[in-house]
Structure 1
Amino acid sequence: MTAVTADTTTRPHAAWGAVLSMALCVAMLIASEFMPVSLLTPMAEGLRATEGQTGQAISISGLFAVAASLLVTTVAGTLNRKWVMVAMTGFMLLSLVLVAVAPNFAVLMAGRALLGICIGGFWALATAVIMRLVPEGDVPSALAWMFGGQAIAAAFAAPVGSYLGGLFGWREVFWALTPVVAINLAWHVVALPSLPARRKQDFRAMFGLLKRPYFRRGLAACMLSWGSAFTMFTYLRPFLEKVTRVDVTLLSILLLLLGCAGFIGTWAAGRFLKGDVAPFLKLPALVMGAATAGLLLFGFSAVAAGLFMIVWGAMNTMFSVIWMTWMSQNADDAPEAAGSLMVAAIQASILLGAVVGGLLLDGISIQATFGGSVALAVLALAVIGNGRRMLKPGAA
């Protein structure tokens, strides 16, 4: 990987401080993006909307994230990538303020749209930035560290959000995130090294990647896997309230179990994900789809629900590292273009999962929503197979 080698000759030591600042940004992005999951019911009541409608606060951020991920490398042009990342974090801060003060559903959606721009822009560049911060052999470990921020957010954002939302109100939960994001903004400025754009980006690089059959198959499998996960996860709270019949305290405990299990996934990704990524590609759809099916069958029991949520949560954090490692190994000649396409695919899947899941919830039942999630997981497994067809020639 010539590009990474060139960087490491001028920066002999891996910039782990910058990697950690990226990890904190990931934690805040995940917390900001999916906080409505843990606050869905009180937000719906406060804005006088249905739970299915309020779930679209996630889908709208996904819509704008898709657009931003496809446009960011072209719009940013030759801008230094350090300052693009700083700008994305600034957008997240402004979004949180808008959501916290939102007097109606329209302003809430505007704030979530701004967050979508941050999500799309950050994730489109994140893996390419990581590839420039550390030597090639350290990229999987650095990705695991960065996605450790996801584990932290998954462990504490949802349970703390639901608990504090019950005590103080959902607006106060969003206000509580703003000082942390402000600190992260300052950390980016200090820790991230200068990252000049190597060349002006345009859509030709994306079209070039889409002409590669193995990359197209990987994108399709990734979309189905993520769509399955977030058709379920977006509406987890209504399931636990209606089927498992939990109160706020037990809900917070179950969400904490799910989140803390993410640390297992982060450790496993850093420990085992080395070399050949093909055998790991089917694991997210297989394990998370099976856990969702388990919730459908046995979710009336709080103990069973907790066990299946632990399994789901452990794989959830490993999920991202697996697919971004696949991208770094199979599109290493165009990492920014690949990042844009990957993020667009993932966010489109989250958007569709939230929309379809909400329609199933409002139109049929919460069980129908979870059944749709399982169906998408089965389709993902059919596309992935043994994973070899999604590796570039010479890697299979």
Structure 2
Amino acid sequence: MIHLKTGIIKEGAANWAAVLSLSLSVIGLITAELLPISLLTPVASSLNVSESAAGQAVSATAMVAMVASLFIAGVTRNMDRRRVMLALSLLFVASNVIAGMADSYAVLIAGRVVLGISLGGFWSMCAAVTMRLVPESNVPQALGIIFGGASLAMALVAPLGTWLGGIFGWRDIFFATAAAGCIALFWQFRVLPAMTPASQSTLSTLFRLLARTDVSMGMLAMMLVFGGHFVFFTYLRSFLEGGAGLDVNSISLVLLGFGVANVIGNALSGKLINRSLMMALALPPLVMALLAGALYFVIRQGLAVSTLVALWGFALGAVPVAWTTWLTRAVPDETESGGGLQVAAIQLAITGGAVGGGALYSVEGSTGLLHGSGITLVLAAVLIFSRMRSKAQA
């Protein structure tokens, strides 16, 4: 049976094939978003631009994704959600084809702008669609599968992109990503059911949601968690190189350990959420803050640093699943608009964390990153415990 207002399946069989098809698209989206980072030098050389200019291919996607996430629910409010997801997946394929065929910097950026629309729209709609594919009790598990795909992509895209780009060339990597997108598109065409809009979202819906104290406090706490993480994570390589004194090979192993631990943490997050959503929201930032403090005392001990960074990745694994689960419970009547706010809030937090971390690193070096990250994460945990308890019960 499906709740008529929210579209949540209260009972019945879960459509796990559809969930897996969404997870495959998420893997492709994360891969495409981060590809320019691992292909920066060959892209810049081929298009005759500086590496800093080529790096803006990532920024362009992020900025467009933030805007798209806010407006996609309203723009498509009368469309079948199956058609919306298929259209966004088609844009993903087109964006990578454009990027692979780019003969100028402008064409590359155009492809990345199209990717931003697909990325922001897909992410903002993902939670609401997932709620309509599985029974309510299976939502955390389904979200874990989808975000597990994201974790897997983030763990592997940098080393694989660099390696395969050197063998086949950067254009072929974009084409291969487009081909993977075609597989996901065909799979979704086969397994996604028709889903009539569950609400009539408009721009004013976003402001009404933010006017709810529990929603605004939740968004603020979520921004502090992601911002605190990215104060440190954005400059993790600099920390490992300059602070911990590790060489390139050691840094690669540490980053791989972080990624693998993140995937494991993500896979186990559903069990913690089912026990207590409050603890799933509050424990990760608290643990990461403690790890930031521990890193301060062992900064020159390579093995200890590697272990603590891996534990950080493990703790982070529960964060996206827990916050998306919170969203489905906090605004079950407007999950699509809430998803847009969530994506925009995370993008702002990432930007703020990167800017703040850069300022701290330039003034205090590696210790500044740990101070800023730790304090921000503690504030997040305090806010969750003090202001969100009634809305994040097990």
TM-score range with shorter-chain normalisation? Answer: 0.7 to 0.9
Query: For residue 341 of structure 1, what is the amino acid of its counterpart?
Result: L
The match for 2:346 is 346
Task: Say whether residues 1:30 and 2:30 are aligned partners.
Answer: yes
Counterpart CA distance in 2 for 1:57 and 1:290 is: 35
Compared CA separation, residues 7 and 374, structure 1 to 2 (3 A) = closer
The match for 1:139 is 139
Cα drift, residue 345 of structure 1:
0.9
Compared CA separation, residues 66 and 91, structure 1 to 2 (3 A) = same
Q: Which moved more, 1:319-328 or 1:94-103?
A: 94-103
The match for 2:388 is 389
The gaps in structure 2 that reach 5 residues or longer are none
Cα drift, residue 222 of structure 1:
0.4
Aligned CA-pair RMSD = 3.3
Q: Which moved more, 1:75-84 or 1:203-212?
A: 203-212
Query: For residue 77 of structure 1, what is the amino acid of its counterpart?
Result: R
The match for 1:287 is 287
Contact 1:69 1:341 in 2 (8 A): yes
For residues 133-212 of structure 1, the aligned pairs below 5 Å read: 133-165=133-165, 171-212=171-212
The match for 2:380 is 380
Number of aligned residues:
391
For residues 229-258 of structure 1, the C-alpha deviation after alignment (integer angstroms, 9 at most, x for no partner) is 2333334344445554433x5444333222
For residues 44-100 of structure 1, the C-alpha deviation after alignment (integer angstroms, 9 at most, x for no partner) is 77765466x665544432221221111001111211111111121222223333444
For residues 56-67 of structure 1, the aligned pairs below 5 Å read: 56-67=56-67
SS at match of 2:79: coil
Counterpart CA distance in 1 for 2:164 and 2:97 is: 18
SS at match of 1:308: helix
Cα drift, residue 219 of structure 1:
0.3
The match for 2:3 is 2
Counterpart CA distance in 2 for 1:48 and 1:295 is: 38
Cα drift, residue 20 of structure 1:
0.5
Cα drift, residue 19 of structure 1:
0.5
Compared CA separation, residues 224 and 102, structure 1 to 2 (3 A) = farther
Task: Say whether residues 1:246 and 2:247 are aligned partners.
Answer: yes
Q: Which moved more, 1:101-110 or 1:129-138?
A: 101-110
Cα drift, residue 143 of structure 1:
1.1
Cα drift, residue 136 of structure 1:
1.1
The match for 1:18 is 18
SS at match of 2:317: helix
Compared CA separation, residues 8 and 329, structure 1 to 2 (3 A) = closer
Counterpart CA distance in 2 for 1:109 and 1:299 is: 39
Cα drift, residue 319 of structure 1:
0.8
Query: For residue 246 of structure 1, what is the amino acid of its counterpart?
Result: D
For residues 278-330 of structure 1, the C-alpha deviation after alignment (integer angstroms, 9 at most, x for no partner) is 12212232233444555565455543343233112222321111101111111
Cα drift, residue 146 of structure 1:
1.6
SS at match of 1:14: coil
Q: Which moved more, 1:325-334 or 1:271-280?
A: 271-280
Contact 1:163 1:252 in 2 (8 A): no
Counterpart CA distance in 2 for 1:361 and 1:109 is: 30
SS at match of 1:221: helix
Compared CA separation, residues 360 and 113, structure 1 to 2 (3 A) = farther
Task: Say whether residues 1:72 and 2:72 are aligned partners.
Answer: yes
Percent of pairs with identical residues: 38
Task: Say whether residues 1:319 and 2:283 are aligned partners.
Answer: no
Compared CA separation, residues 156 and 192, structure 1 to 2 (3 A) = same
Contact 1:147 1:266 in 2 (8 A): yes
Compared CA separation, residues 363 and 119, structure 1 to 2 (3 A) = farther
Contact 1:232 1:369 in 2 (8 A): yes
Cα drift, residue 16 of structure 1:
0.6
Counterpart CA distance in 2 for 1:195 and 1:84 is: 10
Contact 2:272 2:280 in 1 (8 A): no
Cα drift, residue 179 of structure 1:
1.8
Contact 1:55 1:234 in 2 (8 A): no
Compared CA separation, residues 95 and 366, structure 1 to 2 (3 A) = farther
TM-score by structure 2 length?
A: 0.85
